[in-house]
Amino acid sequence: MTKVVIDMTMSLDGFVAGPDDGVADPLGRHGGEHLFDWYFSGSEEYRDPVFRPEPGANLDEVRRMFAESGAFIFGRRTYEIAGGWGGRHPVNGVPVFVLTHDPPADYPRGPSSLTFVTDGIESAIHQARTVADGKDIKLGGASPGKQALSAGLCDEILIHLAPYLLGGGVRLFDTLPDGIHLEKLSVNDGPLATHLRYRVMPD
Protein backbone atom coordinates (compact mmCIF):
# COMPACT_ATOMS: atom_id res chain seq x y z
CA MET A 1 0.00 0.00 0.00
CA THR A 2 1.39 3.38 -1.00
CA LYS A 3 2.31 5.70 1.86
CA VAL A 4 3.25 9.38 1.72
CA VAL A 5 6.54 9.71 3.60
CA ILE A 6 8.72 12.68 4.49
CA ASP A 7 12.25 11.29 4.02
CA MET A 8 14.88 13.84 5.03
CA THR A 9 18.32 14.07 6.57
CA MET A 10 18.39 16.71 9.30
CA SER A 11 20.91 18.25 11.68
CA LEU A 12 20.46 17.86 15.41
CA ASP A 13 19.28 21.49 15.60
CA GLY A 14 16.57 20.93 12.99
CA PHE A 15 18.03 22.13 9.67
CA VAL A 16 18.01 20.26 6.35
CA ALA A 17 20.44 22.70 4.70
CA GLY A 18 22.70 25.47 5.89
CA PRO A 19 22.33 29.19 5.14
CA ASP A 20 22.36 30.42 1.54
CA ASP A 21 21.82 27.06 -0.13
CA GLY A 22 21.94 27.28 -3.90
CA VAL A 23 23.61 25.93 -7.00
CA ALA A 24 27.06 26.99 -5.78
CA ASP A 25 26.51 25.53 -2.30
CA PRO A 26 23.74 22.90 -2.63
CA LEU A 27 23.54 22.33 1.14
CA GLY A 28 24.44 25.86 2.14
CA ARG A 29 27.18 27.28 4.30
CA HIS A 30 28.23 26.05 7.75
CA GLY A 31 29.14 22.58 6.48
CA GLY A 32 25.70 21.44 5.36
CA GLU A 33 27.29 18.68 3.29
CA HIS A 34 28.14 16.89 6.55
CA LEU A 35 24.46 16.03 6.99
CA PHE A 36 24.97 13.36 4.34
CA ASP A 37 28.26 11.92 5.59
CA TRP A 38 26.35 8.76 6.49
CA TYR A 39 25.70 8.16 2.77
CA PHE A 40 29.43 8.02 2.07
CA SER A 41 30.97 6.45 5.18
CA GLY A 42 31.48 2.98 3.66
CA SER A 43 34.14 1.76 1.28
CA GLU A 44 31.93 0.08 -1.32
CA GLU A 45 29.36 1.52 -3.69
CA TYR A 46 25.74 0.47 -3.33
CA ARG A 47 23.94 0.12 -6.68
CA ASP A 48 24.73 3.70 -7.67
CA PRO A 49 27.97 5.70 -7.33
CA VAL A 50 26.13 8.29 -5.25
CA PHE A 51 25.64 5.97 -2.28
CA ARG A 52 28.44 4.37 -0.24
CA PRO A 53 26.84 3.62 3.15
CA GLU A 54 28.68 1.71 5.83
CA PRO A 55 27.33 -1.81 6.45
CA GLY A 56 24.79 -1.97 9.25
CA ALA A 57 22.05 0.55 9.94
CA ASN A 58 23.11 2.99 7.22
CA LEU A 59 23.25 0.33 4.51
CA ASP A 60 19.91 -1.05 5.73
CA GLU A 61 18.32 2.39 5.33
CA VAL A 62 19.67 2.89 1.81
CA ARG A 63 18.50 -0.58 0.77
CA ARG A 64 15.07 0.19 2.18
CA MET A 65 14.99 3.52 0.34
CA PHE A 66 15.68 1.78 -2.97
CA ALA A 67 13.13 -0.94 -2.24
CA GLU A 68 10.26 1.27 -1.04
CA SER A 69 10.48 4.46 -3.13
CA GLY A 70 8.03 4.61 -6.02
CA ALA A 71 8.04 8.37 -6.70
CA PHE A 72 9.49 11.57 -5.26
CA ILE A 73 8.00 15.04 -4.78
CA PHE A 74 10.27 18.08 -4.55
CA GLY A 75 9.91 21.84 -4.66
CA ARG A 76 11.17 23.97 -7.53
CA ARG A 77 14.14 25.23 -5.51
CA THR A 78 15.44 21.72 -4.86
CA TYR A 79 14.93 20.89 -8.53
CA GLU A 80 17.01 23.90 -9.56
CA ILE A 81 19.79 23.20 -7.06
CA ALA A 82 19.97 19.57 -8.21
CA GLY A 83 20.05 20.55 -11.88
CA GLY A 84 16.99 18.38 -12.44
CA TRP A 85 19.13 15.38 -11.46
CA GLY A 86 20.17 15.28 -15.09
CA GLY A 87 16.83 13.62 -15.76
CA ARG A 88 17.63 10.63 -13.54
CA HIS A 89 17.00 10.67 -9.81
CA PRO A 90 19.70 8.51 -8.16
CA VAL A 91 17.12 6.26 -6.47
CA ASN A 92 16.20 3.85 -9.25
CA GLY A 93 15.51 6.72 -11.67
CA VAL A 94 11.98 6.86 -10.25
CA PRO A 95 9.41 9.45 -11.42
CA VAL A 96 9.85 12.91 -9.91
CA PHE A 97 7.12 15.51 -9.41
CA VAL A 98 8.14 19.14 -8.92
CA LEU A 99 5.87 21.71 -7.26
CA THR A 100 6.12 25.03 -9.05
CA HIS A 101 4.09 28.05 -10.15
CA ASP A 102 6.16 28.42 -13.31
CA PRO A 103 7.21 25.23 -15.14
CA PRO A 104 10.47 25.57 -17.08
CA ALA A 105 10.34 25.65 -20.86
CA ASP A 106 13.05 22.99 -21.02
CA TYR A 107 14.31 20.39 -18.61
CA PRO A 108 16.58 17.31 -18.60
CA ARG A 109 15.03 14.20 -20.14
CA GLY A 110 15.74 10.83 -18.65
CA PRO A 111 14.22 7.81 -16.90
CA SER A 112 12.86 9.85 -13.99
CA SER A 113 10.03 11.35 -16.07
CA LEU A 114 10.00 14.83 -14.52
CA THR A 115 6.48 16.25 -14.07
CA PHE A 116 5.84 19.86 -13.04
CA VAL A 117 2.76 20.34 -10.88
CA THR A 118 1.18 23.78 -10.68
CA ASP A 119 -1.98 22.99 -8.70
CA GLY A 120 -0.60 22.07 -5.30
CA ILE A 121 0.59 19.26 -3.08
CA GLU A 122 -2.66 17.29 -3.17
CA SER A 123 -2.51 17.08 -6.95
CA ALA A 124 1.17 16.12 -6.86
CA ILE A 125 0.45 13.28 -4.43
CA HIS A 126 -2.48 12.09 -6.54
CA GLN A 127 -0.37 12.04 -9.68
CA ALA A 128 2.55 10.36 -7.91
CA ARG A 129 0.25 7.66 -6.56
CA THR A 130 -0.76 6.66 -10.08
CA VAL A 131 2.84 5.82 -11.03
CA ALA A 132 4.28 4.63 -7.69
CA ASP A 133 3.14 1.05 -8.36
CA GLY A 134 2.17 0.48 -4.74
CA LYS A 135 5.47 1.79 -3.39
CA ASP A 136 5.89 4.89 -1.23
CA ILE A 137 5.73 8.50 -2.33
CA LYS A 138 8.72 10.28 -0.81
CA LEU A 139 8.58 13.98 0.02
CA GLY A 140 12.19 14.97 -0.51
CA GLY A 141 12.19 18.67 0.33
CA ALA A 142 11.27 20.86 3.27
CA SER A 143 8.51 22.73 1.44
CA PRO A 144 6.57 19.68 0.14
CA GLY A 145 6.91 18.01 3.52
CA LYS A 146 5.47 20.98 5.39
CA GLN A 147 2.67 21.38 2.84
CA ALA A 148 1.69 17.72 3.13
CA LEU A 149 1.74 17.79 6.93
CA SER A 150 -0.35 20.96 7.04
CA ALA A 151 -2.88 19.41 4.64
CA GLY A 152 -3.11 16.16 6.58
CA LEU A 153 -1.69 14.16 3.65
CA CYS A 154 1.44 12.70 5.24
CA ASP A 155 1.46 9.13 6.60
CA GLU A 156 4.99 8.79 7.97
CA ILE A 157 8.08 10.85 8.76
CA LEU A 158 11.54 9.34 8.32
CA ILE A 159 14.34 11.49 9.72
CA HIS A 160 18.01 10.62 9.33
CA LEU A 161 19.35 12.64 12.26
CA ALA A 162 22.96 13.72 11.75
CA PRO A 163 25.24 14.54 14.70
CA TYR A 164 25.91 18.03 13.42
CA LEU A 165 24.81 21.53 14.45
CA LEU A 166 24.29 23.89 11.51
CA GLY A 167 23.21 26.91 13.54
CA GLY A 168 20.99 28.26 10.76
CA GLY A 169 19.55 27.57 7.34
CA VAL A 170 16.47 25.74 6.08
CA ARG A 171 14.25 24.25 8.78
CA LEU A 172 11.98 21.29 8.21
CA PHE A 173 9.39 21.88 10.94
CA ASP A 174 9.13 25.66 11.34
CA THR A 175 5.71 26.50 9.85
CA LEU A 176 3.31 23.78 10.90
CA PRO A 177 -0.15 23.70 12.45
CA ASP A 178 -0.27 22.99 16.16
CA GLY A 179 -0.69 19.56 17.67
CA ILE A 180 0.61 16.93 15.21
CA HIS A 181 0.76 13.69 17.16
CA LEU A 182 3.36 11.09 16.10
CA GLU A 183 3.80 7.42 16.94
CA LYS A 184 7.39 6.14 16.98
CA LEU A 185 7.74 3.13 14.69
CA SER A 186 11.47 2.43 14.78
CA VAL A 187 14.94 3.71 15.67
CA ASN A 188 17.94 2.46 13.71
CA ASP A 189 21.25 3.82 14.98
CA GLY A 190 24.23 3.84 12.66
CA PRO A 191 27.51 5.70 12.26
CA LEU A 192 26.94 9.38 11.48
CA ALA A 193 23.12 9.12 11.61
CA THR A 194 20.25 7.88 13.74
CA HIS A 195 17.31 6.85 11.58
CA LEU A 196 13.95 7.72 13.20
CA ARG A 197 10.63 6.60 11.71
CA TYR A 198 7.25 7.92 12.92
CA ARG A 199 3.62 7.44 11.94
CA VAL A 200 1.55 10.62 11.67
CA MET A 201 -1.50 10.00 13.82
CA PRO A 202 -4.97 11.23 12.89
CA ASP A 203 -6.49 14.07 14.92
Three-class secondary structure of residue 30 per DSSP: coil
Predicted pLDDT of residue 48: 67
Predicted pLDDT of residue 166: 95
Residue-wise pLDDT for 64-109, tens only, equals 999 999 999 999 999 999 999 999 898 988 999 999 999 998 888 8
Cβ burial 181-200 (10 Å sphere, 16+ → b, else e): eeeeeeebebebbbbbbbeb
Residue-wise pLDDT for 99-142, tens only, equals 999 999 888 888 889 999 999 999 999 999 999 999 999 999 89
Predicted pLDDT of residue 155: 98
Q: Has residue 21 got a pLDDT over 90? A: no
Predicted pLDDT of residue 151: 94
Residue-wise pLDDT for 27-64, tens only, equals 888 889 999 999 988 877 766 677 888 889 999 999 99
pTM of the model: 0.93
Identify whether the C-beta of residue 44 lies closer than 8 Å to the C-beta of residue 53: no
φ, ψ of residue 156 to 5 degrees: the values are: -140, 155
- The Cα–Cα gap between 203 and 129 comes to 23
Amino acid occupying residue 191: P
Q: Has residue 203 got a pLDDT over 80? A: no
Residue-wise pLDDT for 144-197, tens only, equals 999 999 999 999 999 999 999 999 999 999 988 778 999 999 999 999 999 999
Strands 96-99 and 4-11: unpaired
